[in-house]
Amino acid sequence: MLYFISDAGKPVEYISCGNLTSKGGFVHPRRNIDSFVLIIVIKGTLHICQNMSNFDVKEDEFILLFPNTLHYGYRPSSGELSYYWVHFYVHDPNYSIYNRGSLLRNRTLLTESSDFSPPPENFLLPEYGSLSLERRSRLLFVQLLDINKRENYVATWKCHYALNLLLMEVSHESFQISHFLNSNVPIYILDLVEWIRTHYDQPLTVAYIAEQFGYHPTYLTNIFKKYTGYPILTYINRIRIAVSKNLLANRTLSIYEVANTCGFSDEKYYMKLFKRYEGITPTQYRKAFHQKKVNLT
């Protein structure tokens, strides 16, 4: 695994972005270009090779393609595929690409903490990684796509700033996930997090979840907060709100349908929580981010 690191005080330069969609059989073209490319997969699996390594990039995973490096699709996609892409230049003359061993030996590039996370003044992105359950990077990518369309596909300062914010969020999310999965978090907490991820749309209570895992509700609440920083129900609601933001992009769904799909039986409660967490209403959010360029194959 390779890692890109660059001084965030020297912002990257946005070139172009878009949303590729394919009904099946997509093969990424064979290319060697002079810019970086960040790809976040929204649906399906992108099969791509870089540096003689094959990557199967799935939903809510990303790959960073390096400049002057050959990359190509090594296998056609099976079924529907959708991903966001953005091309950019890096103007930090001292940017570097490290393997994990080299990066760990250069501790000054990292924080002094033990969680292998990027310092706030650096972009630090792995070649391949996963996004957080909250999908903040996906939402920032949608914002970039929306800005790009409203700016008539011209590389304006708005696009530059939106891209730099996106890269900082991807840096944070990818290393946060890496730390969480490789830390000493008990297996049953990891199992619980995954269980919530697949059951968030169902009626859930602490008592019900505790019964499923064979623990006392108070104990499970305390131990879950210890390792995640959230009470269980707060964590569930944050997951629901995060998922709902993606559903709001589908303008054919009513606010009630979005709330119900995410596990909220009370539309007004959903709207109240959304405003509390996001600072705007679901309707305001929907109006803010609804345009993007789509490339069909």
Integer CA distances (angstroms), 188 to 5, 210, 248, 291, in order: 34, 12, 32, 41
Confidence label for 56 from pLDDT (cuts 50, 70 and 90): very high
Q: In terms of DSSP H, where are the helices of 44-135?
A: 100-105
Tracing tokens 């970086």 back to the chain, one arrives at 36
Q: Sheet holding 81-89: strands in order across? A: 128-130, 61-65, 36-43, 81-89, 13-22, 294-296
Dig out the tokens for 20 from the structure: 């590729």
Question: 166-191, pLDDT tens digit by residue?
Answer: 999 898 877 665 555 445 677 788 78
Give residue 115's pLDDT: 40
By the 8 A CB rule, do 84 and 39 touch? yes
Q: 263 pLDDT band (50/70/90 cuts)?
A: very high
Q: From CA 192, how far away is CA 258, in angstroms rounded?
A: 24
pLDDT at 99: 83
- Tell me what pLDDT residue 106 has: 64
For residue 184, the model assigns a pLDDT of: 66
Specify which residues 296 forms β-bridges with: 21
Q: What is the DSSP string of 158-199?
A: HHHHHHHHHHHHHHHHHHHHHHHHHSS--HHHHHHHHHHHHH
Residues 6+ positions from 110 with CB-CB distance below 8 Å: 103, 116, 117, 118, 119, 124
* Residue-averaged pLDDT of the chain: 86
Residue written as tokens 């991807």? 170
Please name each of the domains of the chain with its CATH number.
2-183 (2.60.120.280), 187-288 (1.10.10.60)
Query: pLDDT tier at 130 (50, 70, 90 boundaries)?
Result: confident
Q: Give percent of the chain above pLDDT 70.
A: 87
pLDDT at 112: 39
Q: What is the mean pLDDT of residues 10-34?
A: 95
pLDDT in tens, 203-229: 999 999 999 999 999 999 998 888 878
